Amino acid sequence: MPLTRDDVVRAAVEVIDERGLAGLTLRGLATRLGISAPALYWHVTDKRHLLDLVAEHVLAQLPARRAPAPGEPVVDWLADGLRVRRAAMLAHRDSALVVAGNRPTEDAMPAIDATVAALTGAGLTPGESVRVLTALGSFLLGDVLETQAALDRPVPDTPADPRAHPHLEAAAADMGGDDERFEDGLSLMLEGLRARLAARAATGVAPV
């Protein structure tokens, strides 16, 4: 049975999961698939193209965006979507590096459009909605990027840090892990968003 493009993409994801993005070479990938390296060029135009497909594949694995449950605050619904996206990315090594720089695929647009609709429905202007959504996306990307970068480059076993930075030292105890860090930043943004929505509601501006 001949190889499909999807086989190639899936194998690439496996290689990245095992060896990291830097460990993905066309020759290695081809050998794993039992074909020769140039044969990959039949399925894919480019390594860059392959990475685009990998990014798409990783993001496509998350469940179809559910509509907000009746009575569910928009902000909570938004937060849930972000957590799902984050989980999908953290499930694959170096995914942030792969995803970074890929503008949203055409078939990711309906979900984005729906989210923008929800935000404008809650009282933001359309431009504001897009900006807020992009900001949340930037935060998510940056967070996952740093988390995964820390995995790739393990700590240099903290050589000398006696009491040069007392406040950082004090923080070490209750700093928490990656999830706490994300949740705390997220709650910051959502709190700000809630405040803004409340302000809009108070001034009685109807949703545009």
Partner DNA sequence: AGCGGGTCCCTAACGCTGTTAGAGGCATGG
Partner DNA sequence: CCATGCCTCTAACAGCGTTAGGGACCCGCT
DSSP per position, 146-204: HHHHHHHS------S-SSSSHHHHHHHTT---HHHHHHHHHHHHHHHHHHHHHHHHHTT
> In the block, which residue shows the tokens 């930037």?
138
Q: Which of residues 62-101 bind a second copy (CB under 8 A)?
A: 97, 100-101
45-53, 70-78, 127-135, 181-189 -> range binding DNA (CB under 7 A):
45-53
Closest listed residue to residue 186, CA positions, set 84, 118, 117, 116: 84
Of the listed pieces 28-36, 65-73, 106-114, 179-187, which binds DNA according to CB under 7 A? 28-36
The single residue among 34, 63, 70, 167 that binds a second copy, judged by CB under 8 A, is 167
Question: Is residue 35 a contact point for DNA (CB under 7 A)?
Answer: yes
**Least distance CB 46 / DNA (angstroms):** 5
**Choice between 91 and 171, CB closer to a second copy:** 171
Q: Which residues bind DNA (CB under 7 A)?
A: 2-3, 24-28, 30, 34-39, 41-43, 46-48
